[in-house]
Structure 1
Amino acid sequence: MRVGILGAGWWAEQHAQALATLEGFAVTGVTSGSLESATAFAAQYGGSAYRTAGELLVAPDVDAVLITAPHEYHAPLALQAIASGKPLLLEKPVATNAEDTHAVLNAARAVGVPCLVGFTSHYFPGFSRAKQIIDSGELGRPLSGQSVFQKRWMEANRRDWHLNRERGGGMLLTAGIHALDRLMWLMDAPVQAVSAVIGTHLHDQQADDLASLFLRFAGGGAGMVGSYGYAQGGPINATTILCEAGSLRVTPDSLETGQEDRWTAVPLILPDNLTLAALAQEWLELRAWAESGQLPRVTPEFAGSVMDVVFAAEESARQEREIRLNP
C-alpha cells in the first residue's frame, strides 16, 4: 500500500516510521504547509513532495491517504481524499464541529471509501486485552468507569493552533479525547447524556486545558473522564472499569484485574515501541478493510459517537446543564 501524507508534522513522522516496519507499505507522497517542509519530509522518509493536496491525491503511485494536518484542516482534506476514492486514515479528531464530522463520515459511507479514524488506544496492549476480557463476559457487564489523561500541555510539539479552540485546539480535542474514547469502548454501551465542566485555568490561550465529564450510558452505567493539561504536575494515563464480577485497571502497557480485594497483573506481550506498533496495526487494518471489507476496531460509527460526546460536552459546559444524546 503506497501512502500519501497530508501534513508533515511530528505525528506524520511517527506514522512514517511505523510504515517503514511493515512489508508492502511505503510513503510515496507528502504535502505540508510549505513545499520546503514537504521536501524535507520526503528526503527523510521517501516519496515525492507536492505543493497541494489535490496534486497528491491524483498521483498514480498513491493508493491510500493519511491526514495528519492541523485539526482545522481535517474535514476539508478528508472530503477531498474521499472524493478521490482512496482509503483514508484520518487522525482524530474527525473535525472541529459536529456538522463537519458527520459530513466526512457520511461522505465516506456514501462513496464506500474506508475511513479509519486514528484512536490509537484500541491498539495498545493494555486496552486491547481489557476489551477482550470484557467481551468474554468473565467479569460480567461493565457498570462504571473512570478514565484520565493528565499530561504536560505545553510540550515540545505544541503549535499556535493547539491554543485556539476555533482552530481545533485544546487539551480535550488533542489528548483528552483518548481518555473518552477508551472509556466508551470498554463500557460497551452508547452514551445517553453528558455533563461537563470545561475551562482554561493554567495557560494563556483560547482553548481548554482542563475538562471533567460525567457520562450516563444506556443500561444504567456511568463514567467519568478527566482531561487535564497541567503546567506543573505528574502524568496519568489510565482507565478503571468496575464490572458486575470484578474490575479492571488499565494503562497502555499494563493491565490488572481486581477480585477478592486485590489486584492481579495480567501478562501482556509488549512491543519495543508501543506507539509505532499501534500505528502499524492501524495500517494493517485499513489495508484489510480496503482489500477484503473487514471492518477495523474503530468503525466510522463508533468514531462519530465519540465526536458527538465531545461536542455535547462542550455544549454542556456552555449551558451549565446536562445534554442528552441518543434519545
Structure 2
Amino acid sequence: MAGSALSIERPGAHGVEPLRVAVVGTGGWGAQHARVVTDRVDTELVGVVGRDPSRTEARAAAYGTRAYTSIDGMLEAEHPDLVMVSLPNEEHFAPTLQLLRAGVPLLVEKPLVFELAEADALLDAAGDTFFAINFNHRYAEPVLRARAAIAAGELGDLVFATWRFGGEANRGPSPHANLIETQCHGFDMLEHLCGPISSVAAQMTSMTYGAFSTVAIALEFASGAVGTMLGSYDSSYAYPDTQRVELNGTAGRAVIHDTVRSLTLQSVGDETERVWRAGYFNDEARSFERTVDRHLDAVLAALRTGSPPPVPASAGRRALELAHAVIRSHETGARIPTPPPGA
C-alpha cells in the first residue's frame, strides 16, 4: 500500500470485481474495519451487524451500507465474500462459530477466544474455510523492516529478545484479560520474529484492582535464545515507548519503538545507529490503525487466489496456548514447556 498523505487514489486492486464484505460489531475497532473496507476500490461494505438497533443503524448510515441485528439475516440477504468480526473481547466464541458453520470466510479480531477448548472447537468447525486473525502488529513498517534485517543476517544469531507493552486498564470479567487479550500480540510478534517459544516462566501481580493486571514472563526459544515479556494494564499509553521490542543478536541489534514510530538498527561495536521514521508526508506508515489496512491487503490477495490466510486463526490459538502456559507457571511456580504444534 502506498503511504502518502498526498495520495488521492483509493487503495486496493484496480480492475477487479469488488469483494462483498460485511462487518460484525459496532464498537471502536468495528468502525476501523468499516473504514478500511469503504476506503478501498476492491471491496464493498454490504452490511453491518450489531445487537443494538439504533447504534447499528447509525454505524451503517455513517458508512453508506445496510444495518442488521441478525447474523443469519445478513448472510441470507447479502451473501458476503468475507466477514470481518470485531466484538467485545470475551464474546467472540458463539458468533464466530455461527459464521464458521455457515462456511463464510472470516477475518476476526484478537483474541481468538479465552479458552483453549473453544479455540479448538472453532478450528474444527472451520475445516478448510478461510479463517484469519488480525495480528496487525506484524504489518507495522518497523516490524517489516526488522524481520527483513533478521532474514538478511544483519543481526546474526538472535541471543535475546524483549517485549514491553503497557497502558491503561481494559477491565473485563477475566482476571487474565491483560495477558490474553493484549499480550497475545507479544506472543505472536516474538514467535514471528524469533521462532517458536519452547518454555515460559511467569510472575504476576494483582495489586491494583484485583485482576492480574501486570505480568512478567521469562521465555526460552527453540533456537536457544532467551527473552522477556512485560505486559501491563497499570501503565499509560501516553508514555513514550509504551510498546518496545528489542532484538539482540551476535552481529547487531534492532529496536522497535511504539510499533509504528521508529526502528533503530545498530551493529556490534558501532556507535552509530541507523534509524527509520516515517517521513513528513508518510502518514500511512506512522498510523497504527493503518496496519489493519496493510493486513487486509494481504488477506484479500490470499482470498482471491485461494491461498491460506497470511495470519491464520491457528496463530490465535497458539497465542492462547502460550498464555495458558503462563497462567500455569504462575499458579505452580514451575517453568512450563510450550513446544510448537507438531514438535
Would the TM-score normalized by the shorter structure come out above 0.5?
Answer: yes
Q: Secondary structure at the match of 2:283?
A: coil
Shift in Å at residue 268 of structure 1? Answer: 5.1
Tell me how far 1:48 sits from its aligned partner.
1.5
Q: Contact (CA 8 Å) 2:107, 2:133: kept in 1 or not?
A: yes
Q: Quick one: which of 162, 170, 185 aligns to 1:146?
A: 162
**Mapped partners of 1:39, 1:91: distance in 2:** 22
Contact 1:21 1:280 in 2 (8 A): no
Aligned counterpart in structure 1 of residue 283 of structure 2, from 272, 287, 297: 272
Kindly state the Cα deviation for residue 296 of structure 1 after the two structures are TM-superposed. 4.4
Matches for 1:148-227 after TM superposition, within 5 Å: 148-153=164-169, 158=170, 162-165=171-174, 170-187=177-194, 189-202=195-208, 204-205=209-210, 207-227=211-231
Quickly say closer, same or farther: Cα 1:93–1:291, change in 2 above 3 A: same
Q: Which residue of 2 aligns with 1:129?
A: 145
1:15 aligns to what? 33
Q: Using the alignment, how far apart are the partners of 1:200 and 1:46 within structure 2?
A: 45
Distance of 1:178 and 1:137 partners within structure 2: 24
Structure 2: tracts of 5 or more residues without a match = 1-18
Taking the aligned partners of 1:199 and 1:57, their CA distance within structure 2 comes to 44
**Residue 21 and residue 144 in structure 1: after superposition, are their counterparts in 2 closer, same or farther (change >3 A)?**
same
SS of equivalent residue, structure 1 residue 4 = strand
Which letter does structure 1 place at the counterpart of 2:311? V
Task: Tell me the residue number matched to 1:6.
Answer: 24
TM-score (norm: length of structure 1): 0.88
Aligned equivalents of 2:274, 2:309: Cα separation in 1: 28
State the Cα distance separating 1:261 from its structure 2 match: 4.3
Q: Do the aligned partners of 2:166 and 2:235 also contact (CA within 8 Å) in 1?
A: no
Report SS of the residue matched to 1:267: strand
CA offset at residue 60 of structure 1?
A: 2.6
Asked if the contact 1:122/1:297 (under 8 Å) is kept, the reply is no
Contact preservation (8 Å) 2:264, 2:275: yes
Pairwise CA RMSD: 2.2
TM-score w.r.t. structure 2 length? 0.84
Q: Secondary structure at the match of 2:154?
A: coil
Q: Deviations along 1:269-309, whole A, 9 cap, x unmatched?
A: 56414233211122222212211133444234433322211
- Compared with structure 1, are the counterparts of its residues 76 and 32 closer, same or farther at alpha carbon in structure 2 (3 Å cutoff)? same
For 1:179, the aligned partner's letter is: G
Amino acid paired to 1:208: F
What amino acid is aligned across from residue 225 of structure 2 in structure 1?
G
Would you say how many aligned residue pairs link Structure 1 and Structure 2?
313
Number of the residue aligned with 2:82: 64
Distance in 1 separating the partners of 2:158 and 2:197: 13
Matched, 1:311 2:324: yes
Shift of 1:124: 0.6
Structure 1 CA distance, aligned partners of 2:125 and 2:159?
35
Report SS of the residue matched to 1:196.
strand
Correspondence for 1:234: 239
CA distance in 2, matches of 1:57, 1:201: 46
Query: Deviations along 1:111-169, whole A, 9 cap, x unmatched?
Result: x211111111101101111111112223222221000002122xxxx5xxx32207xx7
**1:262 equivalent in alignment to 2:265:** no
Letter in 2 for 1:53: I
- Tell me the amino acid that sits aligned with residue 190 of structure 2: L
Deviation, 1:68, is 0.7
Q: CA offsets, 1:93-115, max 9 Å, x none?
A: 1111111112222332x2x2111
- Return 268-277 or 211-220, whichever deviates more: 268-277
For 1:72 and 1:152, the matched residues in 2 are separated by 18
Distance in 1 (CA, whole Å) between partners of 2:29 and 2:161 is 29
CA distance in 1, matches of 2:166, 2:144: 21
Percent identical pairs in the alignment equals: 24
